[in-house]
Every structure is written in C-alpha cells, then in structure tokens.
Structure 1
C-alpha cells in the first residue's frame, strides 16, 4: 500500500534552532492519527512541511506522491487544512468564503451548499462572517478543509470553540472520511478527545519523534500501572484491602471503593483475588493508562 505521507529523516532548522530533528514516519490511507506534543515541540513545523509551506533542511517529505513544496497543484487539491487560528475576511459571507476556496481548488461551487449543511451553517450561510461566533468560524474553517473530499486532512486544534454536540458531529465527519480511505491528522492538546478516536499516536518533544504507535502498543512499551477500582458495600473497604493480600495496598474512597495500581503482570492475580471475595464485591473496573499518562511518561523519558 502506497503511503499518503512519507517523511524520511526530516530536519528543519531556522538559523541555529532545530524545530524538527531527524523525524521519519509514513501515513497510510484511512488512518486517523493524533499528533501531540507540548508548545514548541515541532508539531506546527511538521504540519508546515506536509503542507509544503517550508522545505526540510535535510531529509525528504512526500505527500500524495509529490514534493509538497515543489509547486505541484494536484496534491494540494487533494489536501485539506484547518489551522489552529481560523481567520477569514469578515466582510464576506460564509457562502462567499467557501465559493472562493472552491474555485481555488477547481471544485464546483454548487457543492458548497452540502458542506454548509454538514457543518450546521446553512441558516447563517449568507450572513457576514463578522457576525459569526468563534464556534461558527471554526465550523466554517472545517467546511473549507472538506472542499473536494480530500484524501489527506491536517487539522490543528480542530474542536476549539465547538460545544460538545458539535464536537461529536465533527468526529462523525472524521470517521466518515476515514471510512472512505482519507488519512486524518489531528493535532490537539485535548488528549481525552483523541484517545478513543485515533488509531495511531505520534508524540513529539523538542523536535524529536519520541513515540509512534497505537494506544495499546504505547501502553506495552511504557509498562505503566493500570488502575483496578473495586466497589464494595459501605464500610467494607478495609476488609477488602486485607483480602487482597497487603492491608497497606490500595486507596480507599468514600468507604466503599478501593483503587489499586497494578502492573500488567500483577493485574490477573489481583482480579483473581477480588473474584474470590464473593458477595463482598459489587463492581470492578479496570482502567488502563490514559493517553495523558502515556504522553507525560514519554516526555519524562525524553527530558535529561
């Protein structure tokens, strides 16, 4: 399968600053990928490299089979981009803005009505953007990124300003695009949103790619403890802690819930003991390390 994005040993320097350092990865069709990192980690530079806005100082970048900075137009027509800070001419209407971008991509203007409907702006299509709220401008930016049914979508903080309902609709759109074979790259600091919605995570820190894999793969690499939360009848928490083998283990909450931190090798044994407690147990939840915890772990490993 041909990669839609192929970055090989890319380094980007601005004077003495190395914004990106020897990064390599390939993105396949249909993947939904989280690109995460602290401010200044190199995420924006990677996006600029994929957009062709900057050239790598060393290494190579291929997007949709082309050098994105080489001046070709075909790859750009099949690429959608939503920047972190959406800005449009406030004197134009939403419809006029989408018509402008449709013409830039040589796409039929007639198709913008469906996009306006899809992002919930049909009723505001002929209002000037100066009257739009932040969330409405964000939705218009998403509609602009979707023009031409792109094969690659680069979305930087895409849910900023969207209420919970619209965030759900946004991820439905992302799922539909992925099902059609598009590759979607989501750069966001809201890691809880990305955890269940992305197949792969790229973590960058100080210009390095410090982790690359699925959530499950990163959990195996990190070997962080999972949390086992056991609910018991009120007042029975201390008895449970004794039955689990180490009276000092576990943390008690509200007298009826005990939480244990367990390594992968300890988890099965603890669950076996909990099951042996019989009617004392009311519920058991196993909570694996979250993307937030994995992110913090890999950043700590990178910090000298």
Structure 2
C-alpha cells in the first residue's frame, strides 16, 4: 500500500543551523498521527516541507504518491492545511472567504458543507473576518481545511485559541474524517488532544525522530499511580512487600485512623503487583490508567539526562 505521507532522509538547514537531521517518516492511509515535540523540535518545518511551502536541503518527500515540488495545484487540492500561525485580515465575511477558498480547491458548491461545519464549530459566517476573535479565526481555518473533504489533512496546532467544547467538536471531525478514509497529521502541545485523536505518535526532538509508536504503546510505557489501603496493623508488612517489588518507586504512607494508605508509582506490568498483594489483607486497591502526558514528559526528561551525561 502506498503511504499517504512519506519522507526519507529529510534534512533542512538554515545557514549554520540544522532544523531537521535526516528525518524518516511514514503515515499510512486512514491513520491519525500526532506530531509531538517542544518548540524548535522541527514540527512546523516538517509540515511546511510536506506542503512545498519551504523546500528541504536534501531528502525526498511523497504526499499521496507525488512529490509536492512537482505536483502543483493538483496535489494541493487533495490536502487540507491549517497553519500554526493563522493570519487573516480580510474585510469580507467569513462565509465569502470560505467560499473563495473552496473554489480554489475545486469545490464549486461548497456552501452546504461550509454551513454544516460552521454550525458545528459555532462560527458566524456573516461577520467580517477582521472582526473575529483569535478563536473564531481559528474556526475559519478549520472550516477551510475540512470543507473540501481532502485526502490528507495537515493541521499545525489546530485547537489553539479554541474553548473546550469546540475542541471536542474538532475531535469529532477528525474521527469522522478517518472513518471516511482520510489521513490526518496534526501537531499539538496539548498532549491530551493527541491522546484522544491519534492512532500513532511521532516524537521529534532537536530535529530528529526520537520515537515512533502507537498511542497505546506510549501510554503503556508510562508509570501507573498505585494506591493501596490496608488496616494500620498490616501496613508495615505490606510496605515491605511493596518496597521489594520491581518497578515500584515513590512509595509513601498516609495514616487515616485505623487504616493506612500506601501510594507508589509502578513502572512495570501489573502481574508482579497482583502477586505481591494476593495473600495480603488489602481493603482497597486503585491503579490509575497510564497517562500519555506523563510518558512524553518522562521521555524528554530521560533524553535530557542522557544528553548531559546524567548531570542534574
């Protein structure tokens, strides 16, 4: 199967600074891939190269099987793009502007689709674009990206400036797009958004691909918070069991009358924990769902430690 997006040995230099160092990536059709990384990691640079807004120093790029540098408008009409820095100063109404964008993308009768998307996002199409707030301009950007039902959506910080209800509407649009076979590449600083929207995670660090995996794999690698409640008389013995448990850290105790709550963080699987507690008089056990945000932040923390040779 031909990849929806593919880049090989992608390198981009600005003078002496290298923004991308030989990046390889592949996005399969119908998948949602979340591009994660701190500012300056290379997310926006990668997206702009995929769209031929800027050109790589070296390496190859294919979007829907075509080289963006050669395919021209024919390929661009099959892509929906939302830039991270959306600039809109037009004096015409949002509705007229979106109709114009749709015509450029080959949609002669896009009004019904534009109206549907505007209603879902809470956008007033009658207002001049210059009079819109940052959040409403972002809605205009989202409508123009989705309106022509493109084969590929490339979305750079798509929910910037949106309130939580509109963010949920956006996530619904992404799910519907993939149900129809569209492919989505999105970047976000809101890791919970990636958690809800993406199938796969691509982590960029200092212009290099640091990790590629599914959201489930990243989450599974995260520590789990564990809370065990026992009678006070049993606390000392159970604490000893948990202290010897591989992967258990940050163990603490909290006395609450005749009971004691033991809290810790587990980095391994649950089998060892269940075995350790099987013969113990446990009153209550809570094991939290692994958190994607913690996994990603831990990844960057570990990477920083490696770069400094473990120095603090």
User: Same fold by TM-score, threshold 0.5 exceeded?
Assistant: yes
1:89 Cα deviation from its structure 2 partner: 2.5
Give 2:225's aligned residue. Answer: 227
CA distance in 1, matches of 2:261, 2:78: 52
Give 1:277's aligned residue. Answer: 280
CA distance in 1, matches of 2:16, 2:168: 42
**Unpaired segments of 5 or more residues in structure 2?**
244-248, 308-312
**Unpaired segments of 5 or more residues in structure 1?**
none
Deviations 1:106-159 (A, max 9, x none): 2124342233223222xx211112332222111111001112101111111111
Of residues 237, 259, 266, the one that matches 2:263 is 259
CA distance in 1, matches of 2:22, 2:271: 40
Q: Say whether residues 1:103 and 2:98 are aligned partners.
A: no
Q: Say whether residues 1:245 and 2:240 are aligned partners.
A: yes
TM-score if structure 2 supplies the norm length? 0.85
Q: Which moved more, 1:103-112 or 1:292-301?
A: 292-301
Whether contact under 8 Å (2:174, 2:197) holds in the other structure is no
Whether contact under 8 Å (1:116, 1:125) holds in the other structure is yes
Whether contact under 8 Å (2:13, 2:19) holds in the other structure is yes
Deviations 1:60-85 (A, max 9, x none): 00111211122522211010111122
CA separation of 1:34 and 1:110: change in aligned 2, threshold 3 A? same
CA distance in 2, matches of 1:158, 1:258: 41
1:207 Cα deviation from its structure 2 partner: 0.8
Give 1:300's aligned residue. Answer: 302
What is the root-mean-square deviation in Å for CA atoms of aligned residues? 2.4
CA distance in 2, matches of 1:238, 1:95: 70
Runs of 4+ off more than 6 Å: none
CA distance in 1, matches of 2:32, 2:83: 17
Of residues 110, 120, 130, the one that matches 2:122 is 120
How many residue pairs are counted as aligned between the two chains?
Answer: 295
TM-score if structure 1 supplies the norm length? 0.87
Give 2:39's aligned residue. Answer: 39
Deviations 1:232-286 (A, max 9, x none): 37xx468446324347672235745432222325x322223334434x4234224
Whether contact under 8 Å (2:171, 2:196) holds in the other structure is no
